[in-house]
Amino acid sequence: MTAPTTADLLALDRAAQDLLFRAARTANTFTDKPVTDAQVAAIHDLIRYGPTAYNGQPLRVLLLRSAAARARLLPYVSSSNRAKTASAPLTAILAADVDFHERLPELYPHRPQARDWLSDRPSRVEQARFSATLQIGYLLVGVRAAGLAAGPMAGFDAAGVTREFFPDGRHEALLLLNLGHPGRDAWERRLPRLSTEEVVWTL
Amino acid sequence: MTAPTTADLLALDRAAQDLLFRAARTANTFTDKPVTDAQVAAIHDLIRYGPTAYNGQPLRVLLLRSAAARARLLPYVSSSNRAKTASAPLTAILAADVDFHERLPELYPHRPQARDWLSDRPSRVEQARFSATLQIGYLLVGVRAAGLAAGPMAGFDAAGVTREFFPDGRHEALLLLNLGHPGRDAWERRLPRLSTEEVVWTL
């Protein structure tokens, strides 16, 4: 893809633009090459600096490394996502800690009373979802920053995965993510994107 | 900040890591230097390639350029965010198009029936919020990629902003964002971040 001239207006160099956005694609197949714990730690160590409300950082990442854990997940995955989830070198459940407010006295020390502002569970759950989803955005960029392909999947039974993997009632599954190196026929053609005129308005 | 050795495991070079995450901070003050429409277009043209469910791309960005538009926003902003919102060179309302499904026959052409899967409004609103929030994550990275400071603000009356700026009932305000070049005393000290051991678990 030829980068448009707007690319020259950015401080980020073109190779990085391509790595993170322009040439990056959601992979549907993966090679056998593993994704190591060190790579995952490097990704997290980068993206953990992204901003969240109250610095609450509610995202939690559950890596399914064992065959037994992967097998527990598959019944909850939509049929169209099952084959790739079974064959990806690594699959993660991305979840929100809906009791993230308990850590706020430590994470947001200049306003220790923030924990009490979030004592109402329904509004706290909404906040947890929002900030964890922002963090998933950073995480997808971070996976690409590691030179890996990300395969996010919204097609799954989120309530079922929450019950199966987070019986503590404290976490809520938001998205599944396959990680690896792209395999054969890893993607379809690029789908159309909205133009700036369609997305950005001015008052 | 000294980058940890995990930085060497990433394909993204260190300068880009610093620009986007490690050295980037949420700015609370800005200089007078303007943020141009060309810069905003360059940011959008980069981040529009980020993945969304059904390729639905529900994020909409309303730039408040006129003094009148900014004045309409301020009553809905929390007192602690009002001064910086009044003085930022550019403030944007980030919103979700809750009727994004209408565009799916064009944006997700291989499954034109996806529009009908989303005919139930409550679940569609949830999907719109989720994908638009992912896109806000990409956008914050994109603002930094442009060499600008981002000042996201969750402290505002979202329902009030939705009523005031989106009376069509089709859009929902999710976050406010100040954009500009960091000014004097633009940030407090960096708040603590959770470690990989606290966030990433393995089964």
pLDDT tens digit sequence for A8-51: 899 999 999 999 999 999 999 999 999 999 999 999 999 999 99
Are B174 and B134 spatial neighbours (Cβ–Cβ below 8 Å)? no
* Whether A203 and B40 lie within 8 Å, measured CB to CB: no
Q: Is the pTM of this model over 0.90?
A: yes
User: What pLDDT sits at residue A157?
Assistant: 97
> Is the pLDDT at B117 greater than 70, yes or no?
yes
Sign of the alpha-carbon torsion through A50, A55, A58, A63: positive
Are A108 and A56 spatial neighbours (Cβ–Cβ below 8 Å)? yes
**Rounded Cα distance, A91 and A83, in Å:** 12
Chain A with chain B: Cβ pairs closer than 8 A? 239
> Is the pLDDT at B4 greater than 90, yes or no?
no
CA B56 to chain centre: 16
> pLDDT band at B106, cuts 50/70/90?
very high
Are A58 and A132 spatial neighbours (Cβ–Cβ below 8 Å)? yes
> Is the pLDDT at A2 greater than 90, yes or no?
no
**Rounded Cα distance, B172 and B175, in Å:** 10
User: What pLDDT sits at residue A5?
Assistant: 77
Query: Residues 6 or more apart from B88 whose CB is under 8 A from it?
Result: B30, B151, B178, B179, B180
Q: What is the pLDDT of residues A68-93, one digit of tens each?
A: 999 999 999 999 899 889 889 999 99
Region B114-143 average pLDDT: 96
**Rounded Cα distance, A70 and A132, in Å:** 23
- Residue A98's identity, in one-letter code, is V
Please name the residue of chain B whose CA is at the shortest distance from the CA of residue A69. Answer: B203
Query: Residues 6 or more apart from B183 whose CB is under 8 A from it?
Result: B27, B29, B30, B31
Interfacial A residues in 17-56 facing B (CB < 8 Å):
17, 19-22, 24, 26, 37-51, 53, 55
For B191, list phi and psi in degrees, rounded to 5: -80, 155
User: What pLDDT sits at residue B3?
Assistant: 52
Q: What is the pLDDT of residues B55-70, one digit of tens each?
A: 999 999 999 999 999 9
Q: What is the pLDDT of residues A106-139, one digit of tens each?
A: 999 998 898 999 999 999 999 999 999 999 999 9
Residue numbers in A near B199 (CB within 8 A): 44, 48, 57, 59-61
User: What pLDDT sits at residue B5?
Assistant: 77
User: What pLDDT sits at residue A193?
Assistant: 97
Q: What is the pLDDT of residues B134-150, one digit of tens each?
A: 999 999 999 999 999 99
User: What pLDDT sits at residue B87?
Assistant: 85
DSSP helix/strand/coil, A87: helix
User: What pLDDT sits at residue A3?
Assistant: 52
Residue numbers in B near A138 (CB within 8 A): 21, 137, 140-141
Q: What is the mean pLDDT of chain B?
A: 94
User: What pLDDT sits at residue A6?
Assistant: 83
**Rounded Cα distance, A156 and A64, in Å:** 15
User: What pLDDT sits at residue A149?
Assistant: 95
Q: What is the DSSP string of B3-31?
A: PPGGGGGSSS-HHHHIIIIIS----S-B-
Q: Which ipTM value was assigned to this complex?
A: 0.96
Residue numbers in A near B64 (CB within 8 A): 203
Are B51 and A149 spatial neighbours (Cβ–Cβ below 8 Å)? no
Q: What is the pLDDT of residues A157-203, one digit of tens each?
A: 999 999 999 999 999 999 999 999 999 989 888 999 999 999 999 99
Check CB contact of A2 with chain B, cutoff 8 Å.
Answer: no
Residue numbers in A near B202 (CB within 8 A): 37, 62-63, 65
